[in-house]
Amino acid sequence: MTSKPTKSITKRAAKPAARSSAHSDVKPLVAILMGSASDLDVMGESAKVLEELGIAHEVVVTSAHRSPLETAQYAEAARDRGLQVLIVGAGLAAHLAGAVAAHTTLPVLGVPLESGPLRGIDALLATVQMPAGVPVGTLAIGTTGARNAALLAVQILALSDPRLARALLDRKAEMTAAVQGLVRRFPEDR
Ligand code: RP5
């Protein structure tokens, strides 16, 4: 069987103001893994959220099926490398999140991707239906799940980072402000 090597697409550093440890060679705290470069458009939404919040992260293509050994090695080394949360997106049979979770005690957040005739339902079931003992926290299919996985990762990091918790509160306040004015009453208040 041929196997594609694990391929790191990019490594991004935190914005200077966002995290105390931020500098150009800062270690990534979050990894965004995906089974194919064809997943990059959707999983890039996770990266955007992490960038917005200044979280150092890396983006890696590795496959449960095509590069199983590299996937296992990556997951086994992740904690010692300083990673704290792993976001994993895959489509079709979508074993990647489970395969990663099998080799680490870090929290694994799975994003089912829509690729193929079943439009992500296959990936959703494969990702969410992990047997007891090997959890994968599963988000929604596609870009919504990718964005929420990143936010959930930041919420996990914020458990031990008050500045990050404040940034999340600010973000919630922005969401609240964005929906104000959408209430209509009849008759109108005078
Ligand atoms: C999965 O198969 C990948 O996560 C991707 O969503 C899907 C199709 O991969 P490619 O054939 O485009 O490489 O493993």
Higher pLDDT, 110 or 187: 110
Ligand 1 atom closest to Cα of residue 115 = 6
Query: In a mutational test of the pocket of ligand 1, which residue from 34, 39, 42, 127 has the highest number of ligand atoms less than 8 Å from its CB?
Result: 39
- The residue-averaged pLDDT of 138-150 equals 98
Q: pLDDT category, 167, cuts 50, 70, 90? A: very high
Q: What pLDDT score was predicted for residue 21?
A: 36
Mean pLDDT of the chain: 89
Ligand 1 center to 129 CA (angstroms): 19
How many Cβ atoms from other residues are within 10 Å of residue 126's Cβ?
22
Percent of the chain whose predicted confidence (pLDDT) is above 90: 78
Ligand 1, atom 5: closest residue by C-alpha:
91
> d(Cα 60, Cα 126) in Å, to the nearest integer?
21
In the predicted structure, residue 74 carries a pLDDT above the cut 50: yes
CATH number of 7-179: 3.40.50.1970
**Both structure tokens of 66:** 């095509």
In the predicted model, is pLDDT for residue 165 greater than 80? yes
Q: Whose CA is closest to atom 6 on ligand 1? A: 91
Which of 71, 127, 132, 120 has the alpha carbon at shortest distance from 94?
Answer: 127
Residue 8 has a pLDDT of: 65
- Atom 12, ligand 1: which residue's CA is nearest? 38
pLDDT of residue 47: 98
The CA 65 to ligand 1 mean position distance, Å, reads 10
Q: Does position 14 have pLDDT exceeding 50, yes or no?
A: no
8 A C-beta contact, residue 88 and residue 108: yes
pLDDT at 188: 78
Give, using CA atoms, the residue closest to atom 13 of ligand 1: 36
pLDDT greater than 50 at residue 2: no
| pLDDT higher than threshold 60 for residue 20 | no
> pLDDT grade, residue 134 (50/70/90)?
very high
CA of 165 to the centre of ligand 1 (A): 35
92: pLDDT confidence band, cut at 50, 70 and 90?
A: very high
What is the Cα–Cα distance from 154 to 50, expressed in whole angstroms? 8
Q: Which of 11-20, 60-69, 132-141, 153-162 has the weakest average pLDDT?
A: 11-20
Residue 17 has pLDDT above 80, yes or no: no
Predicted confidence (pLDDT) at residue 6 exceeds the cutoff of 90? no
Of ligand 1's atoms, which has the minimum distance to the CA of residue 90? 4
| Residue type present at position 19 | R
